[in-house]
């Protein structure tokens, strides 16, 4: 389908939305159930499509990191949506009595969803779940880098939904540009910070509000009080899943002076326990395209050529679809690895001499999507959280805050704006409409005009 088709679909969905009005809880739950069924009935086909797109995506990763959170989100929304939708009573100041006031959380209309390639299922279905719970209709534009999955999603959504409810637009960047230029009622974009800027610019033309779920360099700080071994295990877990192609993967680690070598060895040991070999290991995912591998290999070569220590195991030739878990000790700030989001299985380890220096290192840079802090000391925890901000935080672990339906998920500053998941996703894609119902007498109309003295009201 083309961008032109997307325009026609938007018109169709908007007309259907106007004709239907605000859908009740049963209608919303029915849409969520159809989405759930679509996933459950097509696990093998979707796993195979994502595997083909990646040229090797671990089945367990697709199941654990895409299906499980998507299904949990759908079931959570279905369980709670009737309560979320209830009008919220608000109190009225004495001077406006008698009256009643409440807030209706109403659907916005048609939501556009743009998804990236790294978790193509979760990052299409997750925002869709929130859009449907909020009573909206939706158009989804998945990534051109996952053509097999995008085509399959198009087919499955067309079976599960009427095009006036949900539809998928498949296409390249030109289609994506035309898509984001459409006058949606809200756009949820997940992708890079650079493209997020373009999307926001396009949306501004239509005054379309945006939720931007972007990237960045998420740090893992290991405080001096914490076990290096436990921290290394957690960092390896979060870093090497999906071969590091996770928006909230720890991008780099900050460890106390003198500990970088030990930490590097422990990270690689943990990686090797999880993935004893690389190229022939179907549990270890490939890097999505040759272009992405070339970028990562060039970043590794840059520091290696500069004499920086680079450690790995089962190293792969540059032509391989996979890149082995790699750690780099104390690379300089100007190198590619420390300037750009890595988005691959390469972990720079940076030494610090005091915890304030570590949080200062983070605070001096773009505000990241996630922050991981390993400490059992409450003062250290509060000090770091107070001085270095991020979209979200997992303490003494990695990634897990994203899996909590009761926590908002989103970035801050260059890592994004607006949060979704659970109630926050429902709320984000709803319009909070204020209703003030005047009682049996309207005191203000009785008082004037013409007005008497208003000084009494001013002094209150």
Distance in Å, CB of 188 to ligand NAD, minimum = 10
Distance in Å, CB of 66 to ligand NAD, minimum = 12
88 three-state secondary structure: strand
Is residue 247 a contact point for ligand NAD (CB under 6 A)?
Answer: yes
> What does DSSP say about strands 326-329 and 309-312: parallel, antiparallel, or unpaired?
antiparallel
Distance in Å, CB of 194 to ligand NAD, minimum = 7
Is residue 210 a contact point for ligand NAD (CB under 6 A)?
Answer: no
Q: How many CB atoms lie within 10 A of CB 413?
A: 16
Which residue matches tokens 């030739």? 317
Which region among 6-14, 31-39, 195-203, 256-264 touches ligand NAD (by CB under 6 A)? 195-203
> Phi, psi at residue 441, to the nearest 5°?
-140, 140
25-40 vs 68-85: helix crossing angle, rounded to 10: 170
Q: How many CB atoms lie within 10 A of CB 48?
A: 17
Size of the site for ligand NAD (CB under 6 A): 28
Asked if 213 is an active-site residue, the reply is: yes
> Phi, psi at residue 42, to the nearest 5°?
-135, 30
Is residue 424 a contact point for ligand NAD (CB under 6 A)?
Answer: no
Spell out the alpha helix ranges (H) of 21-58: 25-40, 43-54
Q: How far is Cα 180 from Cα 198, in angstroms, rounded to an integer?
A: 9
Binding mask 346-385 for ligand NAD (x = CB under 6 A): -----------------------x----------------
Distance in Å, CB of 422 to ligand NAD, minimum = 15
Q: What is the DSSP letter of 67?
A: I
Distance in Å, CB of 252 to ligand NAD, minimum = 14
Site for ligand NAD in 383-412 (CB under 6 A): 411
List 151, 164, 192, 404, residue binding ligand NAD (CB under 6 A): 192
For ligand NAD, the closer CB: 173 or 454: 173
> Is-contact 418 428, C-beta < 8 A?
yes
Q: How far is Cα 269 from Cα 52, in angstroms, rounded to an integer?
A: 29
228-240 vs 260-274: helix crossing angle, rounded to 10: 50
Beta-strand ranges (E) seen in 226-333 are: 252-256, 309-312, 326-329
Distance in Å, CB of 37 to ligand NAD, minimum = 25
Which region among 46-54, 172-180, 297-305, 428-436 touches ligand NAD (by CB under 6 A)? 172-180
Distance in Å, CB of 209 to ligand NAD, minimum = 16
List 60, 158, 173, 443, residue binding ligand NAD (CB under 6 A): 173
For ligand NAD, the closer CB: 85 or 170: 170
Which position's Cβ is nearest ligand NAD?
215
| CA dihedral over 259, 260, 265, 271, signed as positive or negative | positive
List 56, 107, 135, 215, residue binding ligand NAD (CB under 6 A): 215
Phi-psi region of 225 (alpha: psi -120 to 50; beta: other; left: phi over 0): alpha
Site for ligand NAD in 93-152 (CB under 6 A): 114-118, 123, 141, 143-144
Which of 109, 133, 120 has the alpha carbon at shortest distance from 36? 133
List 5, 155, 177, 302, residue binding ligand NAD (CB under 6 A): 177
Is residue 271 a contact point for ligand NAD (CB under 6 A)?
Answer: no
Is residue 77 a contact point for ligand NAD (CB under 6 A)?
Answer: no
Q: How many CB atoms lie within 10 A of CB 295?
A: 16
Q: How far is Cα 399 from Cα 372, in angstroms, rounded to an integer?
A: 8
- Name the active-site residue from 36, 66, 213, 405: 213
Is residue 36 a contact point for ligand NAD (CB under 6 A)?
Answer: no
Q: Per this entry, what is the length of the chain?
A: 460
Which of 255, 247, 246 has the alpha carbon at shortest distance from 220? 255
Using CB under 6 A, list all residues that contact ligand NAD. 114-118, 123, 141, 143-144, 173, 176-177, 180, 190-192, 195, 198-199, 213-215, 247, 341, 343, 369, 411, 416
Q: Residues with catalytic annotation?
A: 213
């Amino acid at each position: 389908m083309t961008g032109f088709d997307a325009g026609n679909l938007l018109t169709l969905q908007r007309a259907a939305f106007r004709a239907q009005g605000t859908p009740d809880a049963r209608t919303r739950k029915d849409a969520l159930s159809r989405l759930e069924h679509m996933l459950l009935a097509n696990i093998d086909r979707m796993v195979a499509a994502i595997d083909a797109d990646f040229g090797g995506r671990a089945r367990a990763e697709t199941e654990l990191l895409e299906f499980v959170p998507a299904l949990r989100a759908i079931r959570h929304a279905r369980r709670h949506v009737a309560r979320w939708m209830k009008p919220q009573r608000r109190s009225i100041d004495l001077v406006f009595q008698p009256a009643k006031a409440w807030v209706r959380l109403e659907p916005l209309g048609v939501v556009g969803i743009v998804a990236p390639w790294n978790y193509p299922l979760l990052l299409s279905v997750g925002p869709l779940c929130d859009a449907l719970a909020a009573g909206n209709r939706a158009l989804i534009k998945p990534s051109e880098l996952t053509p097999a999955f995008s085509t399959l999603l198009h087919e499955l959504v067309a079976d599960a939904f009427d095009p006036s409810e949900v539809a998928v637009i498949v296409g390249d960047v030109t289609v994506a540009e035309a898509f984001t230029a459409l006058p949606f009622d809200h756009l949820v974009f997940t992708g890079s910070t650079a493209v997020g800027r373009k999307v926001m610019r396009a949306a501004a033309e239509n005054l379309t509000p945006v939720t931007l779920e972007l990237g960045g360099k998420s740090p893992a700080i290991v405080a001096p009080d914490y076990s290096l071994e436990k921290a290394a295990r957690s960092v390896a877990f979060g870093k090497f899943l999906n071969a590091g192609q996770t928006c909230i993967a720890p991008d780099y680690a900050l460890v106390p002076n003198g500990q970088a070598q030990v930490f590097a060895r422990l990270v690689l040991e943990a990686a090797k326990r999880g993935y004893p070999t690389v190229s022939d290991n179907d549990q270890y995912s490939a890097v999505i395209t040759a272009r992405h591998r070339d970028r990562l290999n060039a970043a590794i070569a840059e520091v290696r050529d500069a004499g920086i220590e680079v450690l790995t195991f089962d190293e792969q030739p540059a032509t391989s679809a996979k890149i082995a878990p790699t750690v780099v000790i104390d690379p300089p700030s100007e190198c590619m690895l420390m300037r750009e989001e890595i988005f691959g299985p390469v972990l720079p380890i940076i030494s610090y001499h005091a915890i304030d220096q570590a949080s200062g290192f983070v605070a001096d840079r773009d505000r990241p999507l996630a922050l991981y802090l390993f400490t059992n000391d409450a003062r250290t925890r509060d000090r770091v959280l107070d001085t270095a901000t991020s979209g979200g935080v997992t303490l003494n672990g990695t990634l897990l805050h994203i899996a909590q339906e009761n926590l908002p998920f989103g970035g801050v500053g260059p890592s994004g704006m607006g949060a979704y998941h659970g109630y926050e996703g429902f709320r984000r894609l709803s319009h909070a409409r204020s209703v003030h119902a005047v009682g049996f007498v309207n005191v203000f109309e009785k008082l004037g005009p013409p007005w008497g003295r208003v000084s009494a009201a001013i002094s209150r």
